[in-house]
């Protein structure tokens, strides 16, 4: 791999065509490359640790479809399972044995999950978990944290304000204030704000929701003491704790961030890996809460394509390969060595690499932040400026400095060595250029 890209002519042409038929030319905003320079690369195929765009350019992929491709692109076991299922049926709108088997695997693996229900996306999983939490507690208020993303459901699109607690400020046009008036936002890593909120509002709170490890606005690794305080306060005030594991579930390990922090949440949300890269989501938890769902209880939730057999087949094949834990140990060691090499060669610069499990995040600042307010806007600009140069050198990293990178089992030492050399070179150039 020489890192030389000859042309992006076809990507540019397709991007122009897309802009005429799709808003912004994309079906998800970050793909538009608005935060970074250059043309969005239109992807043609993936193979192992590599992406190939329509112009034939080859990239080492650290996006991994935003996390779910923990085994890499086109894993033979997953592909075989999907092909086998497609041959006998892609969708039925009825229960299949596959969804029962996947549910049995997750319930048997994740101790807090006594019952689970599949949906079609992480957003849908969060929406449904919040609905059942409100139905179970008979309360309306939901607490979320600045820097955590829980999908684009209306009442979760709430921005943080300048006070300790912010009520009902929509962060997107098209979301009425009446939809978010029962959603409260607190800063992360602020025990005083957390305790004050529960003292004043704890008896009205249905649930607190937090990402397992916030990874949609940087990689904001929380202190164990802070997470355990949140758990104890929810228990004390009769509120539920929802751990959003859409990214961290089966990515940090078989038991995700719940095990990382030693927590027992009441409800958990999943996506990404449990569908082996296919569109899927799930929410689960305590049986007494989940039994509030229809057809057993008064909380309505439904989905025509929930438990889609192709996604279930891909998920079972993926989780089956992860079940013995060996891949997690290998991934964690790969990530540790990769991050250590970057830090050892960049240690004299204002640069940090956060790493946990098989996730890492490049940030141009001295201290690793634990809250969104601690992220340097200048540092994000550094990342965004160097993005195209990294891409041109054959390394595919997310098109935003706020996004994290993922390792896969398919990444080889040769590819990781090349990627590390590229990143070290480009980070040094960026740092010296703007110092």
> Residues with catalytic annotation?
149, 244, 272
How far is Cα 381 from Cα 400, in angstroms, rounded to an integer? 9
Q: Is the distance from CB of 146 to CB of 185 less than 8 angstroms?
A: yes
Closest to 242 measured CA to CA, from 216, 218, 206:
206
Handedness of CA 26, 243, 282, 290 (dihedral sign): negative
Q: Is the distance from CB of 216 to CB of 401 less than 8 angstroms?
A: no
How far is Cα 15 from Cα 40, in angstroms, rounded to an integer? 7
The CA R_g of the chain, rounded to the nearest whole Å, is: 22
SS3 of 218, please?
A: coil
SS3 of 352, please?
A: strand
Q: Is the distance from CB of 402 to CB of 253 less than 8 angstroms?
A: no
How far is Cα 314 from Cα 91, in angstroms, rounded to an integer? 14
Q: Is the distance from CB of 33 to CB of 25 less than 8 angstroms?
A: no
H-helix or E-strand spanning residue 233: helix 224-236
């Amino acid at each position: 791999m020489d890192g030389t890209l000859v042309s992006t002519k076809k990507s540019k042409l397709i991007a122009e065509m897309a802009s005429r038929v799709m808003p912004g030319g994309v079906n998800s905003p970050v793909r538009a490359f608005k935060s970074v320079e250059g043309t969005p690369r239109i992807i043609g195929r993936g193979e192992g640790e590599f992406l190939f765009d329509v112009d034939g350019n080859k990239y080492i992929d650290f996006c991994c479809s935003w996390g779910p491709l923990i085994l890499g692109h086109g894993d033979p076991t997953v592909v075989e399972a999907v092909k086998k299922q497609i041959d006998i049926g892609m969708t039925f709108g009825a229960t299949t044995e596959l969804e029962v088997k996947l549910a049995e695997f997750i319930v048997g693996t994740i101790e807090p999950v006594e019952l689970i229900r599949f949906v079609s996306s992480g957003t849908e999983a969060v929406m449904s978990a919040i609905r059942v939490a409100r139905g179970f507690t008979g309360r309306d208020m939901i607490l979320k944290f600045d820097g955590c993303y829980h999908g684009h459901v209306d009442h979760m699109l709430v921005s943080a304000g300048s006070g300790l607690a912010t009520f009902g400020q929509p962060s997107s046009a098209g979301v009425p204030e009446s939809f978010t008036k029962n959603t409260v936002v607190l800063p992360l890593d602020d025990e005083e704000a957390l305790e004050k909120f529960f003292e004043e509002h704890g008896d009205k709170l249905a649930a607190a929701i937090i990402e397992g490890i916030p990874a949609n606005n940087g990689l904001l690794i929380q202190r164990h003491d802070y997470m355990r305080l949140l758990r104890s306060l929810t228990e004390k005030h009769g509120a539920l704790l929802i751990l959003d594991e859409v990214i961290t579930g089966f990515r940090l390990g078989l038991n995700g961030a719940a095990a990382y922090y030693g927590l027992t949440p009441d409800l958990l949300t999943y996506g990404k890996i449990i569908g082996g890269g296919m569109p899927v989501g799930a929410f689960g938890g305590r049986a007494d809460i989940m039994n509030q769902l229809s057809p057993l209880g008064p909380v309505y939730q439904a989905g025509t394509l929930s438990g889609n057999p192709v996604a279930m087949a891909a998920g079972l094949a993926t989780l089956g390969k992860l079940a013995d834990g060996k891949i997690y140990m290998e991934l964690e060691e790969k990530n540790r060595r990769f991050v250590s090499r970057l830090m050892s060669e960049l240690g004299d610069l204002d640069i940090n690499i956060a790493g946990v499990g098989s996730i890492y995040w490049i940030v141009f600042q001295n201290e690793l932040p634990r809250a969104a307010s601690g992220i340097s806007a200048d540092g994000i600009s550094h990342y965004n400026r160097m993005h195209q140069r990294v891409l041109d050198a054959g390394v595919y990293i997310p098109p935003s400095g706020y996004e994290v990178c993922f390792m896969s089992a398919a990444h080889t030492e040769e590819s990781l060595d090349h990627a590390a050399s590229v990143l070290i070179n480009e980070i040094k150039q960026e740092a010296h250029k703007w110092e």
